[in-house]
Structures are given as C-alpha cells and as structure tokens.
Amino acid sequence: PSRESFVSAMEAGGVAAMEVVARDLKTLGLYTARALSFDGVEYDVLEHALTPAQIEIYDAYAGAFRMIHHNLEAALTATGVNDASGETNASAARASAKSRFESTKQRFFNHLLMGMKAPTIIRAIEDDLAAGNACVIQVVSTGESLLKRRLETMDLEDELVEGALTPRDYVLGYLEQAFPIHAQKLVEIDGNMVAEPLRDETGALVVSREALALRDAAMMELMTLAPIPSALDQILWAFGDEAAAEVTGRSIRPLKAEDGHLFIEKRAASSNSSETQAFMDGEKDILIFSDAGGTGRSYHAAQTAKNQKRRRHYLLEPGWRADAAIQGLGRTHRSAQVSAPFFRVCTSDVHGEKRFTSTIAKRLDQLGALTKGQRETGSQGMFREEDNLESPIARAALRGYFADLAAGRAEAMRYESFTDWTALRLIDKDGVLLEELPPIQRFLNRVLALPIHMQNALFAEFMRRIADQSE
C-alpha cells in the first residue's frame, strides 16, 4: 500500500488493525512499525527481522560463546581455581573471571544486534529523507576505544578493513586479557583458603598449557566468524560525512572513500559544535549523537533555525540510564518548535533483545514514579507493563518457569539442554529445586547468547507467563 493509505488504515482501524498490517509487512520481509501518539508526539517501534544469513551468523556466535563458557570452566579447573569436581577453591577469583565474561558477552550481543539492525534503519532513514524529514539518531557507545586499540596493534603497512572494526574485538580483548591461563596455588589467610598466582623461581607467572590451549581454541573459533560493523559506522558509511553530522565526541573515526577504502579522520575538539550548527542550518539532514555529544544541545525544529524540517528521532541504543535516554529524547522536543518530533524505538525480532529494552523500561517507570508520581508518565506509554522484565510479576513468573524447566514440563527446551547452553543450575544433587535460583538479570543475559530459535521459543513461553500474570 501507499504511505497515505497505510496511515489512513491505521488511523481508522486502531491498534488491532495496526498489528495486522505490521504482521503482514513482516511476512513480506519488510520492517514493522507500530505507530501511536502521546501528548501530540507520535512514535513507533521499528522492528528489524533478521535475515536467514544474519540468523546463521548469530547462531554461530552463540555456539562460540557456548564453547568459550565451557573452556572457561575447564580453564578454571586447569589453573586450580576449581577442583576436579568443579567446586571452587577460590570464590573471588572465580567470580571475577565469570563476571568479566558475562559483561563482555552482554556488551557484545548488544553491539551485534545494533549492527544487524543497521540495514533496516538505513532504509527507513532514506524513506524519511525522501519525505522531507530530518533524521536524528541517538546512540550511547561509539566504539572509539575499540578503534584506538585496533590501531595500536596494526603495522603501518596494514590496510584498515571493516573486519577489524567490529564488536568481535571486545571478546578477543577479553580472551587476551582476562581469560584465566595462570596457575594458582592455595594459601591460608586468617583461616580462609584463597588462591594466589603461582610463580616460578624467577618470579614469573606460571602459565597453564592446558588453559592456554583452551583460550587459543576459543580465539580461533571467533576469528572464523563473519564480522558485523557497528551501526554507527554503517550509517556514516551509507550516507557519508557530507550528509550526516556526528556529535559523539569521537576524536578519530573510520570513514569510507569513494573507492570503498577506509581511512581514519582526526576530529577537532570543536567538531561537536560545528556539526550541530551544520544540522541546524540545514547543511546536513542527518545527525547522530551520543551522551558524549555534550549536554544542553538542542536538535529540534526550532522557529529560529534554518532547518525546520520535522525531526524523525531514532532511539537506536537506549543505554542503561533512563534519565540519559529521556534527556536524549528531549533534545528534539523543545518549546518554540515548528513541529513535534516523531520518535522511533529501534528493535529486532530477536526475543533476547528484550534484555535491553526491559532494563530501560524499568528505569523509565522508576523515573516516572519519582518525578511525577505516576508510573505511566516516565515511559510516556512507549513500553507496556509486560515489557518490564525486571518487575515483581516477571520475577514471580520466572520462578514458576524455572520449576517447570527443572521438572521437564517446559515445552521450549529440555532441562539438560538449558543447563548445557546457559550453565544455569536449578536443582541440587537430590533433584530438588534450589532455594536460591538465578536472578532474572542473569537469566536474561544467558538467554541472549542462545541460538535464535532456542531463545525465541524460550522467551515466547516465558513471556506468555508474564502476560497472563499481568492480565
């Protein structure tokens, strides 16, 4: 259908009709959009459906992380942190290694999903520009530290390629710096047994050859997988720096020449101001900003600005701070504006991505309750109660779901497969459900690293429980 008939059909039919149209568009392989409005400001949820090739890549990375996790457990035993039975000899050392791994995994899959969504977002931006709108993209991370680390390890004659600038390097950095390869010895301090690094006669740390082999095998597995560039870089490469203003505070960034080659551009400290001005003057119709872009900047269709096109504000990466997300949304929605912005929350059909939207939904709900005394005011209606996966209802639903998983009553997955892929134990040696079950944050993190079909099935079953209990 044409844009006009699509909009009129949604307005006439309401939410139910919108859901039907969105489903049909998804069936056709197009992105879905649920459009609603609040306080005169419209917004929609822009959902990217992963292609078969992207699903294959995601599943390959999920398998790689499963391998890394199993190798990590084996390395903890090889270095003496765990004993032969798998019980820990040094809880602090084990907790440090596991915590670093889980945070790296969460960061990686967040970046991977953003990179996979980029093609849909780019097409939507092209449509918006053709309709005469100006586009604003909100992100949190820029990948500058990753770029600097990559440049430090490159030789002068090496050519910069897209594969060298991907979130995969976060995981490789973890394996190089934090994967346990040094042997430990147990010592007693104040009656407690703790692990200390084992050193040879020269004082050098002793490396476990078994743990080193496990780390190298994990690194080789990752290096064979397809790289996905960051969403920020993909958008810049698609439209070029002459059309897109970047207000992120990056001192260097990778750009593409006309022949497709990458080169590094150094940016002045004043680039944030000049780029903002270029957008507000109408010299550029796309603006990408992050928290580091500076506080107090405005990107709205101001009556005093030359660029008075209606803003299409893409919430590509909400981040973990609700106040920062709200502040970012407010940069295109100010007083004395010609028109209100149109907000777009960018997501995918990967159910594990609810890990990120649920956290921001929780923060937004808390922010609304604190600032205006009403739970619905913080999120401005952009998230439903079921979207908050860290609510008391969700935690209660998870405990019931854990019980069904352990008893073999869950349809999505067998308990043996669940523990193998997630490394979450729900029952004791006698088969009794544990009193202290994994918290919902840990469950969501582990589900994110499952193959797509597994996590979608698991999440669908879990979300049905939350929806039923919310109802």
- Maximum C-alpha span of the chain: 81
- Do residues 2 and 100 both lie within one domain? no
Whether 20 has a pLDDT exceeding 70, the answer reads no
* Distances from the Cα of 407 to the Cα of 410, 436, 463, angstroms: 8, 17, 19
Residues comprising the chain, all counted: 471
- Do residues 216 and 355 both lie within one domain? no
- Alpha helix stretches (DSSP H) within 224-343: 231-239, 271-280, 322-330
Helix, strand or coil, per DSSP, at residue 311? strand
Of 83-87, 99-103, 171-175, 296-300, where does the model show the most confidence? 296-300
Domain span including residue 19: 1-30
Whether 276 has a pLDDT exceeding 90, the answer reads yes
Point out which residues pair with 427 in neighbouring strands.
433
> Among residues of the chain, what percentage have pLDDT more than 70?
77
- Do residues 156 and 105 both lie within one domain? yes
Tell me the CB-side half-sphere exposure of residue 157, using CA atoms within 13 A.
Answer: 0
Please report which confidence band the pLDDT of residue 286 belongs to, taking 50, 70 and 90 as the band edges.
very high
* 320 φ/ψ angles, rounded to the nearest 5 degrees: -110, -5
**So what's the pLDDT on residue 365?**
62
End-to-end CA distance of the chain: 34
Joined together, the tokens standing for residue 244 give 């897109």
Q: Where a domain ends, among 200, 223, 246?
A: 223
Tell me the chain's radius of gyration from C-alpha atoms: 24
Mean pLDDT for the chain?
80
Low-confidence winner among 178-187, 403-412, 424-433 (lowest mean pLDDT): 178-187
- Do residues 149 and 212 both lie within one domain? yes
What is the Cα–Cα distance from 430 to 359, expressed in whole angstroms? 35
Whether 127 has a pLDDT exceeding 90, the answer reads yes
Q: Where a domain ends, among 208, 223, 238?
A: 223
Low-confidence winner among 256-260, 365-369, 396-400 (lowest mean pLDDT): 365-369
Please report which confidence band the pLDDT of residue 403 belongs to, taking 50, 70 and 90 as the band edges.
very high
Cβ atoms 444, 358 nearer than 8 A = yes
What is the Cα–Cα distance from 387 to 359, expressed in whole angstroms? 9
- Do residues 157 and 61 both lie within one domain? yes
Residue 283 lies in a domain: no
**pLDDT tens string 81-124:** 776 555 655 566 667 777 778 878 878 888 888 999 999 999 99
- Do residues 452 and 402 both lie within one domain? yes
Cβ atoms 45, 345 nearer than 8 A = yes
Cβ atoms 105, 98 nearer than 8 A = no
Joined together, the tokens standing for residue 438 give 């994994």
Joined together, the tokens standing for residue 347 give 């997501």
Joined together, the tokens standing for residue 307 give 């660029």
- Do residues 150 and 203 both lie within one domain? yes
Low-confidence winner among 1-5, 204-208, 428-432 (lowest mean pLDDT): 1-5
* 377 φ/ψ angles, rounded to the nearest 5 degrees: -75, -30
Joined together, the tokens standing for residue 394 give 């969700």
- Do residues 84 and 154 both lie within one domain? yes
What is the Cα–Cα distance from 247 to 456, expressed in whole angstroms? 36
Which residue is associated with the tokens 């134990």? 425
Helix, strand or coil, per DSSP, at residue 87? coil
**So what's the pLDDT on residue 181?**
87
Residue 273 lies in a domain: no
Average pLDDT value for residue range 304-316: 93
Residue 172 lies in a domain: yes
How many distinct structural domains can be found in the chain?
3
- Do residues 59 and 23 both lie within one domain? no
Residue 311 lies in a domain: no
Joined together, the tokens standing for residue 366 give 């808390």
Residue 331 lies in a domain: no
Please report which confidence band the pLDDT of residue 177 belongs to, taking 50, 70 and 90 as the band edges.
confident
Higher-confidence residue of 95 and 256: namely 256
**pLDDT tens string 24-45:** 554 444 444 445 444 556 777 7
- Do residues 81 and 218 both lie within one domain? yes
What is the Cα–Cα distance from 67 to 47, expressed in whole angstroms? 30
Q: Considering the entire predicted model, what is its pTM?
A: 0.77
Give me the torsion for CA of 8, 9, 13, 19, rounded to 10°: -120
3 state SS for 212-244 = HHHHHHHHHHHHCCCCCCCHHHHHHHHHCCCCE
What is the Cα–Cα distance from 163 to 227, expressed in whole angstroms? 5
- Alpha helix stretches (DSSP H) within 268-425: 271-280, 322-330, 354-372, 375-379, 392-407, 415-422
Whether 266 has a pLDDT exceeding 80, the answer reads yes
Please report which confidence band the pLDDT of residue 344 belongs to, taking 50, 70 and 90 as the band edges.
confident
- Do residues 200 and 59 both lie within one domain? yes
- Do residues 381 and 443 both lie within one domain? yes
Please report which confidence band the pLDDT of residue 407 belongs to, taking 50, 70 and 90 as the band edges.
very high
Per-state percent for the chain, helix, strand, coil, to nearest 5: 50, 15, 35
Low-confidence winner among 272-276, 325-329, 434-438 (lowest mean pLDDT): 325-329
Please report which confidence band the pLDDT of residue 245 belongs to, taking 50, 70 and 90 as the band edges.
very high
Residue 129 lies in a domain: no
Joined together, the tokens standing for residue 396 give 């209660």
* 457 φ/ψ angles, rounded to the nearest 5 degrees: -65, -45
Low-confidence winner among 54-63, 204-213, 375-384 (lowest mean pLDDT): 375-384
**So what's the pLDDT on residue 30?**
45
Residue 247 lies in a domain: no
Q: Where a domain ends, among 184, 208, 223?
A: 223
Residue 274 lies in a domain: no
Higher-confidence residue of 80 and 238: namely 238
What is the Cα–Cα distance from 456 to 447, expressed in whole angstroms? 9
What is the Cα–Cα distance from 67 to 72, expressed in whole angstroms? 8
